């Protein structure tokens, strides 16, 4: 009996890496790439292809958005296509978010190619796979009694993600649907819990922990 051909959607903005991944999916996985794109906007415009796929391979950080935020959109739209995330980043906040999402797999881009191949095969067949670098970071985070996930509420984490990128209390308030005074209170609480004393220290923490990236910092 012939093995059914797996159908993939591939979202990666770096053309060279995307080309190598496509070759792996076709040659090593003997699959069919239904869609090969580099932005979330293109993915949103092709949801029918996504629904028809056996696996979505999704870069975490894309030019027009965050892969994990898109996964929340998938949940809201009742799209159940399995997701394998890959990224060159694996900071604590990323590990925290991935662990609480419905993602079935995560591979760090510094892992060997055979690790990614194993992840593709396992997740596409209905299993789960998280690469060694991710699992190691996850264990370290769980053991750390002073980690942000044990100190900050989900609302405070959401605020840190915004103000850590250089946005004002008013901008954070507008995004989160709260008053500016509530946003200021949350910011003060965040800084007190993390023992941060200046806006520069807060931004440095946000970068180190993965709440934001250098390219997404808002120029004041």
Is the residue at 114 inside a domain?
Answer: yes
Is the residue at 69 inside a domain?
Answer: yes
Residue 116 and residue 156 in one domain: no
Residue 121 and residue 41 in one domain: yes
Neighbours of 35 (CB within 10 A): 18
Tell me which residue has tokens 């941060």.
196
Residue 26 and residue 46 in one domain: yes
Is the residue at 2 inside a domain?
Answer: no
Q: Quote the CA–CA distance of 76 and 79 in Å, as a whole number.
A: 8
Residue 105 and residue 163 in one domain: no
Residue 194 C-alpha from the chain's centroid = 23
Is the residue at 1 inside a domain?
Answer: no
What's 88's domain CATH number? Answer: 3.40.50.2300
Query: Can you give the pTM of this predicted structure?
Result: 0.87
Task: Provide the number of structural domains found in the chain.
Answer: 2
Owning domain of residue 33: 7-142
Residues in contact with 171: Cβ distance below 8 Å, sequence separation at least 6, in sequence order: 162
> What is the sign of the dihedral through the CA atoms of 173, 179, 183 and 184?
positive
List per-residue pLDDT tens for the chain, 220 residues long.
345 899 999 999 999 999 999 999 999 999 999 999 999 999 999 999 999 999 999 999 999 989 999 999 999 999 999 999 999 989 999 999 999 998 999 999 999 999 999 999 999 999 999 999 999 999 999 999 999 999 999 999 999 999 999 999 999 999 999 999 999 999 999 999 999 999 999 999 999 999 988 777 765 5
Q: Is 165 left (phi over 0), alpha (psi -120 to 50) or beta?
A: alpha
Residue 126 and residue 179 in one domain: no
């Amino acid at each position: 009996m012939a093995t059914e051909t797996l159908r993939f959607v591939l979202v990666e903005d770096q053309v060279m890496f995307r080309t190598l991944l496509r070759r792996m999916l076709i040659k090593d996985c003997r699959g069919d790439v239904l869609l090969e794109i580099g932005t979330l906007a293109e993915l949103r415009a092709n949801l029918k292809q996504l629904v028809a796929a056996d696996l979505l391979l999704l870069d975490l950080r894309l030019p027009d958005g965050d892969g994990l935020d898109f996964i929340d959109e998938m949940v809201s739209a009742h799209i159940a296509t399995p997701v394998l995330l890959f990224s060159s980043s694996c900071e604590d906040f990323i590990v925290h978010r991935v662990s609480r999402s419905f993602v079935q797999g995560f591979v760090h881009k510094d892992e060997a190619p055979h690790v990614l191949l194993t992840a593709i095969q396992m997740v596409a067949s209905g299993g789960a796979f998280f690469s060694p670098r991710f699992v190691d970071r996850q264990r370290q985070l769980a053991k750390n009694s002073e980690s942000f996930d044990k100190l900050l509420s989900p609302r405070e984490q959401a605020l840190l993600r915004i103000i850590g990128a250089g946005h004002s209390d008013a901008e954070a308030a507008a995004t989160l649907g709260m008053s500016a005074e509530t946003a200021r209170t949350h910011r003060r609480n965040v800084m007190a819990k993390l023992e941060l004393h200046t806006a520069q220290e807060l931004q440095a923490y946000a970068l180190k922990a993965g709440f934001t990236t250098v390219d997404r910092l808002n120029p004041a």
